[in-house]
Structure 1
Amino acid sequence: MTAAALLLSVACLWPVAAHADDSRLRWPVSPRPPVTRGFDAPSPNWNRGHRGVDLAGAPNQPIYAAGPGTVVFAGILAGRPVVSLAHPGGLRTSYEPVQTAVRPGQTVAGGQLLGTLLAGHPGCPVAACLHWGAMWGPASNADYVNPLGLLAETPVRLKPRGG
């Protein structure tokens, strides 16, 4: 009876664990790059901050979708080439400066090529840097988050209630 209960418990938990792993992100650059500038949450959202992380790269390096989603923007924004994805559950990620290989409305898989990295990201200490951003909700009322905390390899840390 104990073995049956254990088997049932594992069977019930298996789909949840698989879904949790599928919802986590992967690095958009391979191999894993150094972070040249970290996330600095603006507070409130319209104030100064760094709404993502800058990852060291090289010009023409492939940039990949961090997770499955739909391309919601691929073009020039504020003078920079940007690709933005909407992921299941309300997460959005952005990648710049990227010469796009995708188009708005296109569905992409995690790890699928989005385009190639371009040089010219302001403040980049190497030949090219990818600015990778993440936010929950629509851009007009976004909650910016550190994309590094959404990576599959980042351990999940639970906070105590009310903490």
Structure 2
Amino acid sequence: MPSPNALRRGRRLSSALALGITAIVATTPAATAGSDGRFGWPLQPRPAVLRHFDKPAQNWLPGHRGVDLAGAEGQTVLAAGDGIVVFAGTVADKPVVSIEHPGGLRTTYEPVRAEIPVGRRVGRGTRIGTLESGHPGCATACLHWGARVEGDRRRNREYLDPLGLLRLTPLRLKPVRP
């Protein structure tokens, strides 16, 4: 029978290995790009993008860490992918919902009045709440949709363009025949 010290060393090694593998998977393009179609639009029908992602050079600098999608007040907001609701409340007087997805990916939705509790497992397309008006920079109601990969103790979080989670089909035009 192994000694208690050997068992503890083995558990620490297993934990470190699991964390290392998780970090590698979470930072690979396949894990964050959603190339397998695991993610969909949080609003239906497919919304217009009013403001695009503008990643700052450093996380503490100004930028636009998500996209603003055209919507209507009271419109249903959907989970973009499978995950667990980790936050449903108010941040700086704005209602926000956050969903943790496999691989350390987190998506955020604001201003959204939550209709689903923290801890609830959701699937892609699950109704999570309703869109409210009042997002800065939007003349009408719009959804600010963000995505990031969580790092170690929030120090190494990486903001991503949430549109990269979608499988967008390129527009192809047919040739005009004379």
Relative to the length of structure 1, the TM-score reads 0.78
Aligned residues: 135
Are the aligned partners of 1:82 and 1:98 in contact in 2 as well (CA < 8 Å)? yes
Structure (1 or 2) with the larger CA radius of gyration: 2
| Deviations, residues 83-134 of structure 1 (Å, cap 9, x unaligned) | 0000011110000000101111110011000000001111103x20000000
Equivalent residue number for residue 62 of structure 1? 76
2:121 — aligned with what? 107
Structure 2 unaligned spans of 5+? 1-33, 171-178
Q: CA deviation at 1:42?
A: 1.5
- Sequence identity percentage: 56
Instruction: Mark the runs of 5 or more structure 1 residues left unpaired by the alignment.
Output: 1-18, 156-163
| Counterpart position of 1:21 | 36
Is contact 1:148–1:154 with CA below 8 Å preserved after alignment?
no
Q: Distance in 2 between matches of 1:140 and 1:79?
A: 22
Map 1:1-163 → 2, pairs under 5 A: 21-22=36-37, 24-125=38-139, 127-138=140-151, 140-141=154-155, 142-153=157-168
Counterpart-to-counterpart distance in 2, 1:41 and 1:20: 21
Moved over 6 A (4+): none
Q: Distance in 1 between matches of 2:103 and 2:168?
A: 20
Mark the CA change 1:20 to 1:50 in structure 2 (over 3 Å): closer, same or farther: closer
Q: CA RMSD in A?
A: 1.7
CA contact (8 A) 2:35 2:167 kept: no
Aligned to 1:15: none
Aligned to 2:36, the other structure's residue is in SS state helix
Q: Which has the higher helix share?
A: 2
CA distance in 1, matches of 2:93, 2:64: 18
